[in-house]
Structure 1
Amino acid sequence: MTALSRAIADPRPVHGLAARSPLAGLDRRSLGFVDVLGQSVGAVAPSAAAATCPVLVATRAGSGTLVAFLLAGVLMAIVAGAVNQFTRRLAATGSLYTFAAKGLGVRAGFATSAAMLTGYGFVAMFALLGAAYYTLTLLAHAGMRGAVSQLPVVVLLAGFGGLCFLVLRRGVRLSTRVTLVIELLSIVAVLALIAVLLSRVPAAEFWRVAVPHGVSAAQLAGGTTVAVTAFVGFESAATLGAESRRPFATIPRTIRWTVIASGVLYLLSAYTQLAGFDAFGGTLAASASPVNDLAARAGVDGIGLVLDAALACSFLACALASTTAFARVLFSLGREGIAPRALGRTHGRFRTPHVALAVGVVIEVAVPAALVAVGLDAWQAMGVIVVCAAAGYITAYAFVCVATPLFLRRIGELTLAPAVAAAVGAAGLVAVLAADLWMEATGTRALAVALLGAVAAIAWLLYAVCRRTRPRALSRIGLFDEATAEDVLGGTP
């Protein structure tokens, strides 16, 4: 008998382990790499971002669009590195707010949780609206006049929200795999259009748009700010830390490659769209629907319609992934006792946070429905909501970057490289957030800044209430999954 066989047959007792994980009730150690990858890819929705974000960046950066995407990609890669300093060491359903709490303490942890709920919640609203908008656009192309109006948008919002709840209630494995399949098919549709355009655009046009000209630093900063929003959500795999089979290997790998692959797709899409408009006439920034315009000018209208269908599915996949993350943050806060404890319950059969899911879906449907009801059309409401989502994500990322060196120093593993990278990331994120809020406050979407102000006021009020009524729960913020007696050979409570 080998030493390994003897150790398995008669293991030495390992004392001091808990009988239950703080996150017991979830389906621990059940998700593989494909499931975790589906979560991050769905939250980013790279196909939808590749089709819609270049025009938004071009309205601010002009010919500097490619440089803006490149700068945003570098910044997000730095942030991903900071996040992975934690994901290699902690498996936490609370994800970024748990990480911030471990590095910066209770107040920063609570603020980060509010920022995460803002980011995930508003992106889910944006995605539900996007799914409704592109579905109705397809119906309008099919001859249904007046399809894109208030009542159909609200009805589809409610329908898609209910579908998300039914899918997510049955288990995260189903939702992540559906999400990954949808996104891969949507990416194929985007790449097909790109391939057609590349074959029909003269080579000289590609060289012409590769180099920016007449772009100021302010324009480039504005474009980079918008480009950052195309990457947000890449870290959402970390919310599955307790449910992942090998979290310390799978989650860092997923986060890293989601950022890299998305960045490559965005650069390729933006490059093709810029060259296409330069070759066929017109400007990218002036187009209301660039992929459809380019498909029509290239003589392949059918691909544009297929892409509209793919985008509707991609937005729905993004709603699934963002709701998954939103519900798990609520679940973690409920389990800690900071939020109502009912949010910390799990379904007896499916082992999903069904109460948190129900609350999340109601919020995600109610807010955009209210915006549409007061007179905004679906596209205008999406523009307001995405500003709120981006501000939430960027704030959470900034807190984690600041927390990284402090956490590493606390555990005795601080080195120069991650400290410098985290400082650069934090400075870049603060600059991006400040520029974004200033441009929106002085532009046409001041409503978004007002909404963010209201969210911040509510978060501050809730923190004050928690300090007075739940100080013990607040002091426990940042629970993470721990090894239990049944996880270890010879483990005893």
Structure 2
Amino acid sequence: MSALERAISRPAPVRDFGARSPLHGLDRRSVGFFDVLAQSVSAVAPSAAATTVVLLVAGVSPQATVFAVLIAGVLSLLVARTVSQFARRLGAAGAVYTYTAHGLGTGGALAAGAAILVGYGAIVVFALLGGAYYTTILLGDLWPALHGTASLIAVLAVEALLLVLVLVRGIRLSARVALVVEAVSVALIVVLLVTLLVRMGPIDVTVLLPRDVSPAALAAGSVIALTAFVGFESAATLGVEARSPLRTVPKAIAWTVVLSVVLYLLAAVTQVAGFDAIGLDLAASASPINDLTRAYGVAGWGVLADAGIAASFLACAIGSTTALSRVLFTMSRDGVLPRRIGRTHPRWGTPVGALAVALPVVLVVPIGLLAAGMDVRAVMHLTISVGAAGYITAYVLVCIAAPAFLRRIGELTPGAAVVSWVSAIALAAALIAFFGVDAASGSAAVWVALALAALVAAGIRWWMRRGGARTGRVGSYDEPVAAQVLGGVAREVDPRNA
């Protein structure tokens, strides 16, 4: 027997590995690159964002809509590069919460966790409302009596049922449903936008350039445009379930941002130029794509686009709830939330404990707001603004954490440090400007975002002070287990992590 054969048959014991991952229970290494890509793409919902966020940007920055989208795209690419510094090194279901823990410690992690929970939750509500809004537009064209709050609430109830069925049955089902929906939706929107551009003929390029716009308005428009990209990092929440996560997750994040930039610029150019050509105000439109299809004689495409947009919103709700549940799951396993939230389904490997907490909240809130008499578009504007505040705050923290993390492991480079700090400063400045413009307009988004973040943070602090936290465990990520290592011997398991 050779020395190699003896080493394999009687390996030296290695005792530095656990019997199971700290994030055990999820369907480990079960999804490939396209499923991971589907998670980020569905959370971004490019089809829905391309046709709705451009309208919101035009409302605050009408003279620089295209430029604001471009700025948001560049900034998203910088943030994606920073997030990938972590994703190439850690397989984590907590994404930016876990990443921040490894750079800024417990305090930074809890702040990022509270912010990203608000972001994911608000975007789920926004997506459910958006899906109901566009579905009722479609149904109202067939049966005008179906317009109104009762119809919106009925559609929300159907969306809720679909959400529960898909999310509980497993990540492979939810990711593939989202992938098919978004692929079809994006194809429809691209064909429609190109068709509209062809029908328009030569466009006046000057209307696409920024003119007579204040820096504050441009910053506010860029932050609103940034909401079209938020969620691109959610592929990182599949760090446990993805195959080869250190390779597939960063790749999925990068591709999501690049594809979104191209689509949003195409949508912004089409809508700005189209409304200028027909002499109407883009910001005053209830459904820009429908207005343009009617104006240019392709109204039939508008119906298909509405169907695609409604489906894209539903895919967004699936993707964002998937990410939300995995952050809650990770925080539970870290001990900063109650233990039962970290339960997983024994058959499908889904975080059912986290879903049981998250789903009632994100489903009851939109129904309650509509039942209280609020206008659906006003609620959508409020929720996307709150979601933007949560996401961007979390992005600022993870960008600050990256250099500290890389320095600690001895891999900090000047390029990575510059990208991280530029991203953090630009995001913080844009968020402050957005809050200023939003507050001046009389919106309550600033106060709602702050109140929700404070409420989440207070709840976490209460639980930790109650004795639920396990010191030193914040920032759990997927680790190799003893069974995967030659000679591996499982170390003693802490009963609190069982």
Report the 3-state secondary structure (helix = DSSP H, G, I; strand = E; otherwise coil) of the residue aligned with 2:62.
Answer: helix
The letter of the residue matching 1:100 is: T
Determine which of 410, 413, 421 is the counterpart of 1:412. 410
The letter of the residue matching 1:457 is: A
Q: 1:301 to 1:113 in 2, by over 3 A?
A: same
Aligned to 1:178: 177
Aligned to 1:27: 27
User: 1:180-204 CA deviation, whole Å, 9 max, x = no partner?
Assistant: 110111111111111211211222x
Aligned to 2:88: 88
Aligned to 1:189: 188
Aligned to 1:150: 149
Query: Quick check: 1:273–1:290 contact (8 Å CA) kept in 2?
Result: yes
| Greater mean alpha carbon deviation, residues 274-283 or residues 20-29 | 274-283
Aligned to 1:488: 485
Alignment of 1:98-113 (within 5 A): 98-113=98-113
Q: Distance in 2 between matches of 1:451 and 1:479?
A: 30
Q: Once the two structures are aligned, what percentage of the paired residues are identical?
A: 50
Query: Quick check: 1:126–1:382 contact (8 Å CA) kept in 2?
Result: yes
Query: Quick check: 2:64–2:218 contact (8 Å CA) kept in 1?
Result: yes
The letter of the residue matching 1:151 is: A
Structure 1 unmatched ranges of 5 or more: none
Q: Distance in 1 between matches of 2:224 and 2:341?
A: 34
Alignment of 1:287-326 (within 5 A): 287-326=285-324
Q: Distance in 2 between matches of 1:361 and 1:18?
A: 32
Aligned to 2:493: none
Q: 1:148 to 1:438 in 2, by over 3 A?
A: farther
Structure 2 unmatched ranges of 5 or more: 491-498
Q: Distance in 2 between matches of 1:355 and 1:459?
A: 18
Query: Quick check: 2:216–2:434 contact (8 Å CA) kept in 1?
Result: no
Query: Quick check: 2:38–2:175 contact (8 Å CA) kept in 1?
Result: yes
Shift of 1:454: 2.2
The letter of the residue matching 1:487 is: Q
Query: Quick check: 2:123–2:384 contact (8 Å CA) kept in 1?
Result: yes
The letter of the residue matching 1:461 is: A
Query: Quick check: 2:110–2:457 contact (8 Å CA) kept in 1?
Result: no
Determine which of 440, 443, 453 is the counterpart of 2:441. 443
Q: Distance in 2 between matches of 1:148 and 1:8?
A: 70
The letter of the residue matching 1:62 is: P
The letter of the residue matching 2:39 is: Q
Is 1:221 aligned to residue 208 of structure 2?
no
Structural RMSD (CA): 2.0
Query: Quick check: 1:111–1:459 contact (8 Å CA) kept in 2?
Result: no
Is 1:356 aligned to residue 369 of structure 2?
no
User: 1:227-275 CA deviation, whole Å, 9 max, x = no partner?
Assistant: 1110000000101101111000000000011111101110011111112
Shift of 1:29: 1.1
Q: Distance in 2 between matches of 1:4 and 1:154?
A: 67
Is 1:479 aligned to residue 462 of structure 2?
no
Q: Distance in 1 between matches of 2:196 and 2:334?
A: 52
The letter of the residue matching 1:163 is: L
The letter of the residue matching 1:82 is: T
Report the 3-state secondary structure (helix = DSSP H, G, I; strand = E; otherwise coil) of the residue aligned with 1:417.
Answer: helix
Q: 1:286 to 1:144 in 2, by over 3 A?
A: closer
Aligned to 1:122: 122
Aligned to 1:400: 398
Q: 1:151 to 1:143 in 2, by over 3 A?
A: closer
Determine which of 368, 372, 375 is the counterpart of 1:374. 372
Aligned to 1:138: 138
The letter of the residue matching 1:468 is: R
Q: TM-score, normalised by structure 1?
A: 0.95
Query: Quick check: 2:337–2:468 contact (8 Å CA) kept in 1?
Result: no
Q: Distance in 1 between matches of 2:84 and 2:7?
A: 33
Report the 3-state secondary structure (helix = DSSP H, G, I; strand = E; otherwise coil) of the residue aligned with 1:272.
Answer: helix
Q: Distance in 1 between matches of 2:4 and 2:115?
A: 47
Aligned to 1:73: 73
Q: Distance in 1 between matches of 2:284 and 2:154?
A: 31
Is 1:166 aligned to residue 178 of structure 2?
no
Q: 1:54 to 1:487 in 2, by over 3 A?
A: same
User: 1:326-349 CA deviation, whole Å, 9 max, x = no partner?
Assistant: 111111112222211111011111
Q: Distance in 1 between matches of 2:24 and 2:459?
A: 26
Shift of 1:206: 4.4
| Greater mean alpha carbon deviation, residues 168-177 or residues 353-362 | 353-362
Q: Distance in 1 between matches of 2:2 and 2:182?
A: 47
Alignment of 1:257-296 (within 5 A): 257-296=255-294
Q: Distance in 2 between matches of 1:491 and 1:475?
A: 24
Q: 1:184 to 1:225 in 2, by over 3 A?
A: same
Report the 3-state secondary structure (helix = DSSP H, G, I; strand = E; otherwise coil) of the residue aligned with 1:413.
Answer: coil
The letter of the residue matching 2:201 is: P
Q: Distance in 1 between matches of 2:438 and 2:370?
A: 20
Q: Distance in 1 between matches of 2:216 and 2:452?
A: 28
The letter of the residue matching 2:115 is: A
User: 1:273-307 CA deviation, whole Å, 9 max, x = no partner?
Assistant: 11212223323223221100100011010101111
Query: Quick check: 2:114–2:457 contact (8 Å CA) kept in 1?
Result: no
**Count of matched residue pairs:** 490
Shift of 1:111: 1.0
Query: Quick check: 1:234–1:258 contact (8 Å CA) kept in 2?
Result: yes
Query: Quick check: 1:206–1:271 contact (8 Å CA) kept in 2?
Result: no
Shift of 1:354: 1.2
Q: 1:58 to 1:490 in 2, by over 3 A?
A: same
The letter of the residue matching 1:217 is: P
| Greater mean alpha carbon deviation, residues 372-381 or residues 71-80 | 372-381
User: 1:8-66 CA deviation, whole Å, 9 max, x = no partner?
Assistant: 77766544221110011111111100110110000000010111111211222223211
Aligned to 2:449: 452
Query: Quick check: 1:466–1:474 contact (8 Å CA) kept in 2?
Result: no
Q: 1:115 to 1:9 in 2, by over 3 A?
A: same
Report the 3-state secondary structure (helix = DSSP H, G, I; strand = E; otherwise coil) of the residue aligned with 1:492.
Answer: strand
Shift of 1:156: 2.2
Aligned to 2:234: 236
Report the 3-state secondary structure (helix = DSSP H, G, I; strand = E; otherwise coil) of the residue aligned with 1:16.
Answer: strand
